[in-house]
């Protein structure tokens, strides 16, 4: 059977108990299809980057699935029909991660893994600007001509 990581977003006006009921319903669909559920992480109510179906926030839930593709298709079909699910994403993985996901780790623990903070000084490109600075090459234009103001005596 294939291994999947599945994340879905539930509406913000649901209670945590209703979100748990949704998870149980989707677990039932997968187990009926011959699959099993690994870890389930509730990431809680988080702000969305942009509105989805007039919602500014959503409950995020991650599930590790081990199931045949037919069971996954049925679960995704049911999620598409449910008005409580805003979005979902399923990714096929080679193996499930051990421990908690990156979303559940504290910020200090995530920085220990390495990432953006350990790259050193930023480089703003590899091209040679010479002595031009930020202005770029001005070419052989010479000095700018003086503008004449209308109505002035010259």
Report helix, strand or coil for 135.
coil
Q: How many CB atoms lie within 10 A of CB 16?
A: 12
Mean pLDDT over 75-83 rounds to 94
Average pLDDT over residues 34-46: 91
Looking at the predicted structure, is the pLDDT value of residue 48 above 70?
A: yes
CB 5 within 8 A of CB 94: no
At residue 106, the pLDDT reads 72
What average pLDDT does this structure show over 107-127? 58
Q: How far apart, in whole angstroms, are the C-alpha atoms of residue 118 and residue 66? A: 35
Whole-number average pLDDT of the chain: 82
Q: What is the pLDDT of residue 134?
A: 59
Three-state secondary structure call for residue 74: helix
Please classify residue 65 by burial: count the beta carbons closer than 10 Å to its beta carbon, then call 0-12 exposed, 13-18 middle and 19+ buried. buried
- Going by pLDDT thresholds of 50, 70 and 90, the confidence category of residue 103 is confident
The token pair at 149 is 């103001």
Asked if 3 and 67 count as a contact pair (C-beta separation under 8 A), the reply is: no
pLDDT confidence of residue 66: 92
Band the pLDDT of 132: cuts 50, 70, 90.
low
Q: Which of 8, 6, 4 is nearest to 59 (CA)?
A: 8
What CA–CA distance (Å, rounded) separates 39 from 5?
10
**pTM score of the predicted model:** 0.66
In the predicted model, what is the mean pLDDT of residues 110-129?
57
pLDDT at 126: 57
Residue 71's Cβ-side half-sphere holds a number of Cα atoms within 13 Å equal to 22
- pLDDT for 105 equals 77
């Amino acid at each position: 059977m294939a291994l999947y990581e599945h994340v879905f977003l539930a509406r913000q006006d649901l209670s945590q108990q209703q979100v748990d009921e949704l998870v149980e319903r989707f677990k039932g669909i997968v187990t009926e299809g011959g699959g099993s559920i690994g870890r389930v992480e509730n990431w809680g109510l988080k702000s969305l980057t942009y509105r989805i179906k007039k919602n500014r926030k959503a409950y995020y839930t991650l599930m590790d699935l081990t199931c045949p593709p037919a069971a996954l298709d049925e679960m995704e079909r049911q999620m598409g029909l449910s008005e409580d699910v805003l979005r979902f994403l399923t990714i096929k993985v080679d193996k499930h991660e051990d421990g908690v996901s990156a979303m559940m780790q504290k910020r200090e623990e995530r920085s220990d893994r390495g990432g953006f903070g350990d790259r050193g000084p930023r480089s703003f490109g590899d091209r040679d600007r010479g002595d031009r600075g930020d202005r770029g090459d001005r070419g052989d234009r010479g000095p700018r001509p003086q503008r004449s103001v209308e109505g002035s005596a010259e």
